Amino acid sequence: MVISYFKRKKKKMKELREKRRELHYQQNRNFILGIAEDVFSRFGYSQTSMDLIAQETQFSKATLYRYFAGKQDLFFSVIQNSLGDLGVQLTAIQRKNFSPEEKIKKIVVAIFKFYHKKKNIGRALFLERMFARKRQEVSPGEHHPQIPNNLRKKLLELSETINEVIREGIDQGVFAPVDPEDASFILGSLVRGFVFRGPLGRKEYSPHQASELVSRYFLYGIARSNQPKKIS
C-alpha cells in the first residue's frame, strides 16, 4: 500500500513534470515562431539567416535546431502558424449570414489584412525558391515539391472555404455558373498579384482601397456589357 502510494505519487509527479516540460516546449516553440515570422517578414527567406533568428530570439542557433528541423522547416512552420488565424476568420465569414457578394468582400478584406503585415512572408512562400543544401531544379508546374503536407492541407482548406462561398453564390443565382475552383483561384491570383506588385514604384493603396478595388473587379469586371451567357 505504502509503496503503491509512493509509486502513484511518483508517477503523478513525473506526469506533471512532463506536462510542464511539454508546456515549456510549446511556449518556446511559439516564441521562436513569433520572432521568426517577424524576421522572415522583414527580410524574406534567403536573406534571413539562422544566425539572425538566433540573435533575435536570444536562443542559440543549436537550440533552434532542437525545435525545428532546419531553416525550411522553421519557415514553413511560421507560415502554418500564420495561416491558422486566417483559416479561422475565413470559415467564420463563410458561415455567417451574409450575401455571397458581401462574403467575398469580407474575405478579400481578411486576406489583405493578413498580407499587410506579412508581405514578405507571402513573397517568400510564393516566390522564393528554397533549397536545403544543393541547388535543385524544379520542373514547372511542380513547384516547391518540398512543401510539407500539413501546410499543403492548410492551404487547400483555405481555398475550399472560398470555393464554398462561390458555390453558394452560384446556387443562389447571384454568381455566374462558373467553375468554383477556377473562380477561387482567380480571386487568389488577384490578391496575390496585387500584393506582390514587383519593383515598380507605383501608387500605394491602403488596405481598404485595395480590398474595394479587388472585390469590385472580381465581382463585376471592367466591361459595361453583361458577362457572356455561356462560360467555358
Partner DNA sequence: TATGAATGAGCATTCATTCAT
Partner DNA sequence: TATGAATGAATGCTCATTCAT
With contact defined as beta carbons under 8 Å apart, do 187 and 164 qualify? no
Nearer to a second copy, 31 or 128 (CB): 128
With contact defined as beta carbons under 8 Å apart, do 110 and 90 qualify? yes
Q: Is 176 in the site for a second copy (CB under 8 A)?
A: yes
SS3 164: helix
- Per-residue mark of binding to DNA, 130-159 (x: CB under 7 A): --xxxx------------------------
Span interacting with DNA, options 66-74, 104-112, 169-177, 212-220, rule CB under 7 A: 66-74
Span interacting with DNA, options 55-63, 121-129, 168-176, 188-196, rule CB under 7 A: 55-63
Span interacting with a second copy, options 6-14, 21-29, 90-98, 208-216, rule CB under 8 A: 208-216
**Torsion sign, CA atoms 196, 200, 204, 209:** negative
**Secondary element (H or E) of residue 112:** helix 100-127
Q: Least CB distance from residue 41 to a second copy, whole Å?
A: 9
Out of 4, 97, 149, 226, point to the residue binding a second copy (CB under 8 A): 226
- Judged on CB neighbours under 10 Å (0-12, 13-18, 19+), 103 is buried
With contact defined as beta carbons under 8 Å apart, do 122 and 115 qualify? yes
Q: Which does 160 bind (CB under 5 to 8 A by kind): DNA, a second copy, none?
A: none
Which residue bears the cell 471592367? Answer: 222
Q: Least CB distance from residue 79 to a second copy, whole Å?
A: 10
Residue 32: count other Cβ atoms within 10 Å of its Cβ: 22
What are 231's three cell numbers? Answer: 462560360
Q: Is 50 in the site for DNA (CB under 7 A)?
A: yes
- Per-residue mark of binding to a second copy, 156-175 (x: CB under 8 A): x--x------x--x---xxx
Nearer to a second copy, 89 or 215 (CB): 215
Q: What whole-number distance in Å separates Cα of residue 48 and Cα of residue 56?
A: 11
Out of 39, 40, 41, 48, point to the residue binding DNA (CB under 7 A): 48
- Judged on CB neighbours under 10 Å (0-12, 13-18, 19+), 198 is exposed
Out of 49, 99, 206, 227, point to the residue binding DNA (CB under 7 A): 49
Nearer to DNA, 132 or 138 (CB): 132
What are the Cα distances from residue 17, in Å, to 22, 23, 119? 8, 10, 40
Q: Which does 200 bind (CB under 5 to 8 A by kind): DNA, a second copy, none?
A: a second copy
Q: What whole-number distance in Å separates Cα of residue 68 and Cα of residue 74?
A: 6
Q: Least CB distance from residue 143 to DNA, whole Å?
A: 19
